[in-house]
Structures are given as C-alpha cells and as structure tokens.
Structure 1
C-alpha cells in the first residue's frame, strides 16, 4: 500500500500552490501536454517561505556546501569546479567545498549560481518536495538558479523532465517554444537535437513573459526555454519532476522475460547474426514468444515493480534520531503515534505474521498487530492505548517497535 500524511479530502496542496487551475484540470489538460503560466495574484501564496536570497547567502557563505550540490554557469557554459570551490581549511580539508570569495567574483562577473539538490539540503524545501512527491506520484527534485542582473545562465534548451519554475526574488524574462522532440526520455537530451532547438528558438515563442516574485510556470519535458534576469538579481526554484512513462511500463514488463521458457531457450548452434535471412526466423519466433508473455502480463506484478522503483527514488519524512530515542524512553499507552509521513509500504499477512515491506526494510510482527498497523496506515494520530486489536501492554510493545524501525513517529 502507499501512504502519505495528507488529511482526508485533501486536493494535492503542494501541487495546488504551484498552479492557477484546479489540480483535476491540471491533470487532464496540462500535465505532460501544455505549458501553464500562473501569476502571483492567481495563486494562494508566494514561495518566499520555501527559499530566499538570504537562504542563498547562508548556503554559500556558511553551510560548507560541496559539489555537486553547487555549480556555476555563464553564457551557456558550466564553469570548472575549481573556479568556485576550494578547501574548507583546518579541520575541514575537503577540496570541493564552496568558496564564497570565488563565488562572489564569478557572480559579479555574470555567472549564475546553481544550488542543486535542495530537496536534500534546505528544510522547507525538503518538506515541500515530499508533499509534492505524494501529490504527483512521480519523483521530484529542486534546484535554485541565482542569476545576476541582465545575465543568462544557459542557452535555449529543453529538459527531459517536467518542471515548475517558481520565482522567488527579482525578475526573469522567459521565452518558451514548443518541442522539436516531444516527450523526450532521459536518454534523448536536447544536445541530440541541437540544430533543431536553435532554429525553434528563433521563431515566435509560445510564451514570452517576465516572471516576478510569486509567479509560477509549468513546462512539460521537451518544451524549449531560455531566460534572462532583469535589472536585479533573480532567484527562482526549478522543481524537476521525473515522470514515469509508458516506456517504463514496457521496461518493467520486459524485465520478466525470464518467466518465459520460450525466451529462455538457447539459440541454434552456429547461429549467424550477420546473415539476415537466416536470422529472421529467430527474430520472428522471439517476437511471438514476447507477445505471448505480454498478453499474459500480470498488472499487479508490473505495478509492484514500478512501485518499488518509485519508493526507492523518493524519501519518506526525515527521522530525528535523538528526538526519537527520547520519545521511545517516554512512550506509554497515553502517547500518540502516527504513520511516518510519505512512507510507502505494503502490509501483507503471512500466516501467523504480518509484514510491513518498504523500500529499505521488511518488518515482521505477530498477526494480532495487523489491525493496529492498518489503523496507523490510515494516517491520523492515535493514542497507543487505542490501537485496535491489542491490549495496552501489547500496544506499547508494538508501537515501540514501529517507532524504533522508522515505520511510525511518536508525536512530540
């Protein structure tokens, strides 16, 4: 089963703050199809709670950020890491830490700062990204682009993932063109269509707009874009969404070729791969066997395979080790617990045991705990003593185990 910590009736709150149309309409009309420009006055709130210019300075000046969590670019070229990193000095002799003096010099010279992987670095974005993972059902990452006035970090290009552009500070002029290669996969970067992209960028844009603080822009993968900062420093977040595709379903299906005796069979002795006429019947027989396999494909097994992949690509709610140990020491029947936010796990009965299987572990408990586990998985907080199917003493034992294993969280 999949679980997240949104309340009943929630309408994808993280997604909703990025778009000016209802989530249902976005899903039907825009997701993977059309770009969407949303102005600040059409959205519920801005994005300064997620990030800010002060946050940029803190990360660059005080956090010891290392590559690849930072890079810099100018006029379409990524700078060598030595141009903005160096040793952390005594006690932190790591050579690729951000060097604020070098960053200042490059930034003043027109280079863009790119802070990568903020969904692993910056607490508000960590929480936002986890919520957006839940809302979309596709993995999410977040980078920040900090561009000096009147500068452009990258030439016209397309991404192989969908993006939200969330303008945090300053202004940026965006020129958006329709794809020259629709729905590109990760193996089909824009550089493989460089000439076509360059030609398209000279045509009239589909969107030509200046983004100001609080504005948001959605671009499906493949849409060509370039941007130039206005008269002040521009800070925007790029939320990258790696959409699963029908090609991923095919890969999951084909991964089961070992289930087919016909496909496991050896090719003829002395097969000549270079002789097309002789090899053609082998290809035809292989295709027929593959079609037979796919016609009897198990949707449940294929879905489980992709669910495991997704669970491995996203992260559940972070755990606080010290606070968790303190909570365990105090935990009793009056304590409240809840399922760990965004933890994706299957709950399976196996004889006299019930198993919780996540991307990182499998936990087995007596089957008597199954009602309590399923109650927790519904999402709301519950007093330990109220866990169904268990007496107070057993409920404390089960709750302790679930909290200790990172399945549940004890409320503060």
Structure 2
C-alpha cells in the first residue's frame, strides 16, 4: 500500500494528539494498553471546529435522520423527541432539547466537513485503520452518557468548555468491534482517576477502558471524538482461511448430514476431518494474498477527496499542465490476471476504482506518482489515448490535482 502525502502534515496531526510523546513512545507504552491525558494545550485544535460551525451545521445543513442524535443523563433520547414523523430532524426540537440539558451528537461529521475529513485522512496511515469523528455538544451541568467503554480506540479533542473525565477499570481482553458495554451486565471497575480536560487538550482512551465525562463549569462543552476503527488479527486470519479454501476443493462440500445429530459413533471421524482440513488450510494459506486483499479493500474503502477535480476536468488537462498527488490519498499498484487468461497485468487501486494499466505505462506512472508531481508531457508512451484516459480518471477519483 502506498500513499503520497506530505509526511509533515500527517506527523502534525498525530503530534497534536500525543505530543510531547513521540510516536514511538506512544505506540510502545500506551496504544491498546492505557489511557493518556496529553498535558499540552494545542491551540491548533480550535482550527478543526468551532461553536459557530456547529450552529451552521444545525441551522443550514441537510440533516437526514442518521446525521444527528441526542442523549441525556446517561441515556439516548428517543428520536421521536427531536424528529418529525417522517424521520427528518426537527431543528427546533433539537435546540429545545439541548436547552433542557440534552447533548447534541453529530456522528461522522468528517463526511460533511473538509477540515475534519482531512484530519482523519492524515491519521489513517499512522494507524493503518479507518478513522472517523463524532462531535458532542453538551450544555452546562449535564452529561450525555453514563459509565461505559467503547469497542474502538478513541482520541478526544476538547474544543470549547471543559469536561470532567472519570477513568475506571479495563475490560478483561480488548473487545471486538461488536462487543459494546452492557450497563446491567459489565463491571466498569473502580474509579481510578479524575481530571479536567480543558480546551486544546487531548485524551487517548483505548477500547475496553471504562469512563464517564460529565460537563464541567458553567459553559457548554464541545469536543471531537476521533475513532480508530481497527482491523484485528482475527479478521485477517478469517480472510486467510477464506482465501486458502479457494485451493481446497473439499472445503466446498456440505457438512455431514448427521453432524448435529451424531450419537457419538462418528464424532471421532468428524473431528479427524476437521483437523485434517485445518492442517491443509495452514499449509495453503498465503500471507501475501491475504495482505493484498486487505490492502486493496482498505484503499478502496477510503472516501474520495474530490475538491477541485470538477474544475480541472471542465477546464481540461493539457500536456504541460503539472499535476500533484493529493495529500493523504491512499493508492496501491497491484498485479491481477488478465481477463484473457494470459500474463498478469498491473492495475492502480484507489478509492472506488481499479484502473488497468498497460505494461508500458505502469512503471512510468508508478515512478511519476512516487515523485509527487508531473506533467503528461514527461511520459514516453506510444498510446497517448490511454495516458489521457488514465490521468483523467485519476483526477476524477481524487488522486491527482492540478498544481
């Protein structure tokens, strides 16, 4: 997997969350292990979001049902309290509920806000995982949720106001993505530490660490929660099993008719077959093939960044127009069997698309993209039509942008 982005921008995004720790210190001592309250106030956090921006989103933006939710005193509000019968958000009811002590939640606001989206993209290479934002606006003397843990790691960036954070115990073993906290079942443990998160401060909380964060003081609290949506070794191994079974015909057979109703006479035979198939999977599973599948899916799932592409395509791209690789966009050059069953061909994979490349163009394009900036006139190819089409497609899908 590759991605031509300014490493300084990526580094700055991570530094704002963890400085004065270095990346090596954070990943060695805290990542997936324990929470980290960053003692440094980062004024640049205010550039990501503001109360005025939230006011604009609520008053002027399109608000489909999934774009907003609310919580109060540890419980989620019934959507009927702030939506019309059609399910559309009732903006007046949202603000009236907020006035009455409810927290406004804007899930995945990065999909509608360029600054937040760029910030998320800058972090994805550092964590090798999708990232997202949820935004919380809590009125004074209130709290949205009770004690709970999350099933993904989070960074909290305090934008305005303050929150009193309470850190409790850790779950026994990191939770999988679907293992949410159950209030009447899971023990959050004893209160370990309490502190105030001030504007410009950041906090890291690993998945499985129980916490609560009521508002502090007489001002509304606005914070961004950046979620790190990890993929686990368990998911990787399941993909490896699926990939290996393509080369094990017996895995396509149905289960024995009496497997569930066996009185014990054939149990040893079933167990022996299970063990034999597991051994064959271990023998034929391919790390490289599994990695290629995960990598390709990761790249394709990254949301496109298209600002400026429409203008560039409308104007047209001349031979000497210089193009640059857009910041933080992931891409990958992969080999794939040709449709005719002949020699393998190269394709470039990026968000939403896989573009086949000729043997002549592929190595040149790989080199030019790695350099970060180029013009079409710098290529030496016999098929100018292919070059024009590939470059135009890379602009359309957001990898390239005119300088």
Confirm or deny a common fold (TM above 0.5).
yes
**Are 2:247 and 2:284, in contact at CA under 8 Å, matched by a contact in 1?**
no
Query: Which stretch shifts more, 361-370 or 26-35?
Result: 361-370
**Are 1:40 and 1:213, in contact at CA under 8 Å, matched by a contact in 2?**
no
Structure 2 residue corresponding to 1:52, chosen from 50, 53, 58:
50
Structure 1 residue corresponding to 2:152, chosen from 151, 161, 174:
161
* TM-score, L = length of structure 2: 0.88
Residue 293 to residue 111, structure 1, CA distance change in 2 (3 Å): same
Q: Deviations over 1:129-160 (max 9, x none)?
A: 11111221111110101111111100100110
Aligned residues: 394
Partner of 2:273: 285
Q: Does 1:372 align with 2:372?
A: no
CA-atom RMSD in angstroms: 2.7
Q: Deviations over 1:293-334 (max 9, x none)?
A: 12432110111122133224322423545313234x2x2222
3-state DSSP of counterpart to 1:181: coil
Partner of 2:129: 138
Unaligned runs of 5+ in 1: 88-94
Partner of 1:91: none
**How far apart are the structure 2 equivalents of 1:270 and 1:145?**
54
Partner of 2:198: 212
**How far apart are the structure 1 equivalents of 2:300 and 2:346?**
22
Q: Deviations over 1:221-240 (max 9, x none)?
A: 10101011112100000011
Partner of 1:80: 78
1:260 is displaced (CA, Å) by 1.9
**Are 2:309 and 2:396, in contact at CA under 8 Å, matched by a contact in 1?**
no
Partner of 1:384: 376
1:126 is displaced (CA, Å) by 1.1
1:274-353 matches, within 5 Å, as 274-276=262-264, 278-327=266-315, 329=316, 331-341=317-327, 342-348=329-335, 351=343
**How far apart are the structure 2 equivalents of 1:244 and 1:271?**
33
**How far apart are the structure 2 equivalents of 1:223 and 1:369?**
50
Query: Which stretch shifts more, 222-231 or 23-32?
Result: 23-32
Partner of 1:150: 141
Unaligned runs of 5+ in 2: none
Residue 270 to residue 18, structure 1, CA distance change in 2 (3 Å): closer
**Are 2:333 and 2:346, in contact at CA under 8 Å, matched by a contact in 1?**
no
Q: Deviations over 1:251-308 (max 9, x none)?
A: 1122233432343345556555343453243023213321331243211011112213
Structure 2 residue corresponding to 1:253, chosen from 237, 240, 247:
240
Structure 2 residue corresponding to 1:236, chosen from 219, 223, 226:
223
1:70 is displaced (CA, Å) by 0.4
Q: Deviations over 1:102-153 (max 9, x none)?
A: 1121011110000011120111101111111122111111010111111110
**Are 1:190 and 1:197, in contact at CA under 8 Å, matched by a contact in 2?**
no
1:352 is displaced (CA, Å) by 9.2
**Are 1:338 and 1:376, in contact at CA under 8 Å, matched by a contact in 2?**
no
